[in-house]
Amino acid sequence: MDSIVVKGGGALNGVIPIAGAKNACLTLMPATLLSEEPLTLTNAPRLSDIRTMTQLLQSLGAEVAGLQDGQVLAMSSHAITNHTADYDIVRKMRASILVLGPMLARDGHAIVSLPGGCAIGARPVDLHLKAFEAMGAELDLRDGYVHAKAPGGRLKGAVVEFPFVSVGATENALMAATLAKGTTVLKNAAREPEIVDLAQCLRKMGAQIEGEGTSTITVQGVDRLHGATHPVVTDRIELGTYMLVPAICGGEVELLGGRMELVGAFAEKLDQAGVSVSETARGLKVSRKNGEVKAVNVTTEPFPGFPTDLQAQMMALLCTADGVSVLEEKIFENRFMHAPELIRMGAKIDVHGGTATVTGVKKLKGAPVMATDLRASVSLILAGLAAEGETVVSRVYHLDRGYERVEEKLSACGAQIERITGN
């Protein structure tokens, strides 16, 4: 099993290109199941999760080819030859549930295993299923699989009001609604940039959608969708992660492709902490204002609030901030598993339920640590960049699910980082 070795100390300076968004790409890929015609995605990230989704789509009969070093995904679903998304693939990644809506909408039936992914809480799929039921689907959960049928072979438009904001449920229902008969209104819908990106892609395929980016999305179902070519939006979580590099280490980094509207709430917190974020012709430039990072309080919220997927990385920064910070996690339970690993490096963190209190220390110290999930893994690398001595991060297979070429991007800015390949 691979590990990453980081030797901390010293400011980092340079340019880091930001990839296409993992979460957007994993949502866009199942959209190929909605049409017999080809769907091509450009600016696709080269990640293990993308390969897993490729395997899943291929198992259902789709053709998927990675072109130009994997950054272009050419997909085609002339026919869905298998309507069962098997546990052996689905268990690897929660986004696998997103094939349910497109298959149900196009062919009127689907069988999908309940999904897996990072161990950061239950994250049930109830809201997905309730949306499909509102659209007329008949559902049966047995033996770990969702068996779904649309009476008469087609879903019907409906008003779907989510009891709380769910990105995945909004995406699944949005795709299903494009081919439903009549009008579907999604209320209390997620507003994330990935939702907007999906809607824009679906519109290119012929879908009739209004209101993406707001809490109410209206979809007028059509009889069929056609092919399209669509660029994957910039990954705002990778962007935010690398914005923390000069914040935690010192120096100045320019992030190519970065856009302020993708990370507004996060950039505001960095500003409060004493970190400067400015727009350039090519992206965003980040550096400390006066050499010292100040404590700030953070509460995770649905977009446009502070992203839960940047909470672990922000905690790494606040471990050496001046003062006491309080981080409140309101999206996922059990998402402070990185705290004990940071404590091994000398951090002072007190966790009570969904709240973590971080008292800044002068310096972290390198130590052997273990990644528990995707975002936790990169938070430990960030901490290692600022720590004295050597930090060894094990179980970095989590990292490869969401970040491409981490060592290469950080090394280009002067970081001492390398991957040790295990058995």
Question: Tens of pLDDT along 162-221?
Answer: 999 999 999 999 999 999 999 999 999 999 999 999 999 999 999 999 999 999 999 999
Q: Is 156 annotated as a binding residue?
A: no
Region 275-303: what's the mean pLDDT? 96
Q: Note the helical H segments in 178-310.
A: 193-204, 236-249, 264-273
Alpha-carbon distance values, 268 to 142, 182, 278 (Å)? 46, 42, 11
Residue that the structure tokens 């050597």 belong to: 390
Please, are residues 188 and 223 in contact by the beta-carbon 8 Å criterion?
no
What is the rounded distance in angstroms from the CA atom of residue 423 to the CA atom of residue 410? 25
Residues 374, 122: Cα–Cα separation, whole Å: 16
Catalytic pick from 118, 201, 319, 413? 118
Q: What pLDDT was estimated at residue 91?
A: 87
pLDDT exceeds cutoff 80 at 412: yes
Residue 121 has pLDDT above 60, yes or no: no
Cα pseudo-dihedral 205, 89, 196, 147, rounded to 10: 80
Q: What is the mean pLDDT of the chain?
A: 94
Strands 159-161 vs 183-187: parallel, antiparallel or unpaired: parallel
Q: How far is the C-alpha of 39 from the C-alpha of 130, rounded, in Å?
A: 28
How does DSSP classify residue 48? H
Residue 125 annotated as part of some ligand binding site: yes
Fold assignment, 3-19+234-420 = UDP-n-acetylglucosamine1-carboxyvinyl-transferase; Chain (3.65.10)
Please count the CA atoms within 13 angstroms of the CA of 335 that sit on its side-chain side: 28
Confidence of residue 398 (pLDDT cuts 50, 70, 90): confident
User: Is residue 123 part of an annotated ligand binding site?
Assistant: yes
Give, as one character, the DSSP assignment of residue 292: -
- Superfamily of segment(s) 22-231: Enolpyruvate transferase domain (3.65.10.10)
Q: What whole-number distance in Å separates Cα of residue 293 and Cα of residue 391?
A: 22
Flag whether 322 is marked binding: no
Q: Is 340 annotated as a binding residue?
A: no
Q: Give pLDDT, residue 397.
A: 87
Residue 126, annotated as binding a ligand: yes
Contacts of 340 (CB under 8 A, 6+ apart): none
pLDDT band at 124 (very low <50, low <70, confident <90, very high): low
Of 12-16, 65-69, 178-182, 286-290, least confident by mean pLDDT is 65-69
Distance CA 62, CA 228 (A): 16
Find out whether 94 is annotated in a ligand binding site: yes
Q: Is 331 annotated as a binding residue?
A: yes
Concerning whether 249 is annotated as a catalytic residue, the answer is: no
CATH 3.65.10.10 residue ranges in the chain? 3-19+234-420, 22-231
User: 123 falls in which pLDDT band (50, 70, 90)?
Assistant: very low
For the segment 384-398, the average pLDDT, to the nearest whole number, is 94
Closest-CA residue to 60 (of 76, 47, 73, 45) = 76
Q: Look at 149-153, 290-294, 361-365, 383-387 and tell me which has the smallest mean pLDDT.
A: 290-294
Q: In angstroms, rounded to a whole number, what is the distance separating the alpha carbons of residues 290 and 271?
A: 12
pLDDT at 119 over 50: no
pLDDT at 122: 42
Model pLDDT, residue 210 = 98
Q: What is the pLDDT of residue 416?
A: 97
- Nearest residue to 402 (alpha-carbon basis) of 28, 19, 3, 70: 19
Phi, psi of 248 (to 5 degrees): -90, -25
pTM of this structure: 0.91
Cis peptide before 304 (omega within 30 of 0): yes
